[in-house]
Amino acid sequence: MITGSGNKYISTVRLDSKNCSADVWWCEGKKEWHWCLVWEDGGPGGTHMHNGIAPTKEKARADIVKTIIYIEDLWPRLEYFENNW
């Protein structure tokens, strides 16, 4: 389980198999890896999705981990919303 990067701010969300899912897949037509992370915040914010494209499967997986850390470090601060709308 990813618990964050040690940011001094206390997060009110912890992403795990109970509130998020992630997937990585190969797009044959575009010859690139795609990834998607969907998570629930447990409150009125509801469902959130982050996604991206990577040149390798390893990079796509690393991007998912970085995104989880990003969410856990910033949620629910205004900075999270300013960067994701």
**Which residue ranges make up each domain of the chain?**
20-83
User: Quick one: pLDDT band at residue 1, thresholds 50, 70, 90?
Assistant: very low
Q: Closest Cα partner for 13 from 78, 77, 62, 82?
A: 77
84 or 49, greater pLDDT: 49
Query: Does residue 74 register a pLDDT over 90?
Result: no
- CA dihedral (21, 41, 47, 5) positive or negative: negative
Fold of 20-83: Double Stranded RNA Binding Domain (3.30.160)
Side chain identity at residue 82, one-letter code: E
Tokens of 8: 């001094």
6-54: pLDDT as tens digits: 555 555 788 999 999 999 999 999 999 999 999 998 877 789 999 999 9
